[in-house]
Amino acid sequence: MIADNLVVDARTGRRTTWGELVQQSGPRPSPTAHVVEHSVDALPAVAALEDGGELLVVAAGRLDEALAEELRGAGFDLVAGGDVQGATSHRAAEDGRVWLLTSGSTGRPKRVGHTLASLSTVTGELAPRTWLCPYSPGTYAWWQVITLGLGVPGQDLVLVDPADLDDWVTPALEHGVTAVSGTPTFWRRTLMRHGAELRKLPLEQVTLGGEPVDQAVLTQLGEVFPEARVSWIYASSEVGASIVVHDGRAGFPVEWLDRDVPGRPRLSVVDGELVITSPHHGVDASGAELAGAVRTGDAARIEDGRVLVTGRLDRDELNVGGSKVSAGAVRDLLQSHPDVAWASVRGRKAPLVGTMVVADVVAGQGSDVNPDDLTRWAAERLPEYAVPRRIKMLAEIPAKETLKSDV
């Protein structure tokens, strides 16, 4: 632990250090699920992991009755402020174990186990930076930023709760933020809402992850922050941070496929699916390692020497009258339109062809682009069967607490 790294709660303006946080808590003898309203509330328990204990952090908004009973049955005490609900099945804590909950996009959230070491994938020295952490407490992305502040010298944190993200630029300017990590949805909403104000931020590092990253948003961020390194990361609870790209381009070089480099993940594409064998893998709820080749469930295609990760495999491939359409490819095309801030593409049942392509679109600030304009524009660039047949214009970019929308 880097005791003098700084942590700032943007909500209250309170500034503290990890050295002070570790004095506020100690390891509990039982596995503990800390239920928190705000990111900063979890940090004393995180700091206490240096001395042992077994920890899961979950945002209060995610904890429904079924999940609470499941965790208590798995041996976790639920701690929310001063309130403790004891486990219904007791066991000793596994010192140093950190549990994450998956997003639950394919069903109920699953527990994946890590350690601070497996969550801390940064190697080498980093320039001193002040990071904005906008993520929901306990998610993999949240832990990635938190472990930077906990374990890497010179990495200070400014914590902003997801509920307060409409105005994150103000505290970022106030507290000297120089690095920001967020999903593409987070960045698109920010670009749309804050515009010129963003250029006041002296950012040195801009990071995207958690959703498919397309060229349009990378290009926009490069233009707004010309002095910053713009990077995207592919990471998940199961395989850790497995792909990191710094060249400002969507996708990763095709030369990275099927190569074996000690200490680095092995990347493959099998039947259109991204497959990863990672040294940063976690364990499942039974403690069994998630080692070996992991089928990620994410669609990947090779185009112009790059491997593009386009979205969840079960949602990406649409069958339109016997012709295959990538929903992610159509989405990326729509998002490359100069008057489009965001797009989501999916299939809808239709007579004769079985499925037709439909889209939701948010126009850029001040744009009067309409569905007919976009349909004609797409028809000039896509096969006839891939052109969206219905386009619905939305007033604003939707976002969940996870900062994701089209996942």
Report yes or no on 85 lying in a domain.
Answer: yes
Range of the domain at 71: 1-177
Report yes or no on 343 lying in a domain.
Answer: yes
Report yes or no on 362 lying in a domain.
Answer: yes
Which residue, 152, 177, 202, sits at the end of a domain?
177
At 254-308, the pLDDT tens digits run 999 999 999 899 999 999 999 999 988 888 888 888 889 999 999 999 999 999 9
pTM beyond 0.75: the answer is: yes
At 334-362, the pLDDT tens digits run 999 999 999 999 999 988 888 999 999 99
User: According to DSSP H, which parts of 279-358 are helical?
Assistant: 313-316, 327-335
Report yes or no on 229 lying in a domain.
Answer: no
Asked if residue 171 and residue 317 are part of one domain, the reply reads no
CATH of the domain at 322: 3.30.300.30
Report yes or no on 95 lying in a domain.
Answer: yes
pLDDT > 70: percent of the chain: 98
Report yes or no on 214 lying in a domain.
Answer: no
Query: Residue 124 and residue 103: Cα distance in Å, rounded?
Result: 30
- Sheet with 6-9: list strands edge to edge: 15-17, 6-9, 155-159, 129-133, 179-182, 205-209, 229-236, 240-245
Q: Count structural domains, the chain.
A: 2
Report yes or no on 232 lying in a domain.
Answer: no
Asked if residue 172 and residue 318 are part of one domain, the reply reads no
- Strand, helix or coil at 334? helix
Asked if residue 170 and residue 21 are part of one domain, the reply reads yes
Q: What is the DSSP letter of 30?
A: S
Which residue, 121, 148, 177, sits at the end of a domain?
177
At 21-33, the pLDDT tens digits run 998 887 788 899 9
Which residue, 137, 161, 177, sits at the end of a domain?
177
Query: Residue 28 and residue 20: Cα distance in Å, rounded?
Result: 18
Q: SS in 3 state form for 109-157?
A: CCEEEECHHHHCCCCCCCCCEEEEECCCCCCHHHHHHHHHHHHCCCEEE
Report yes or no on 243 lying in a domain.
Answer: no
CATH of the domain at 102: 3.40.50.12780
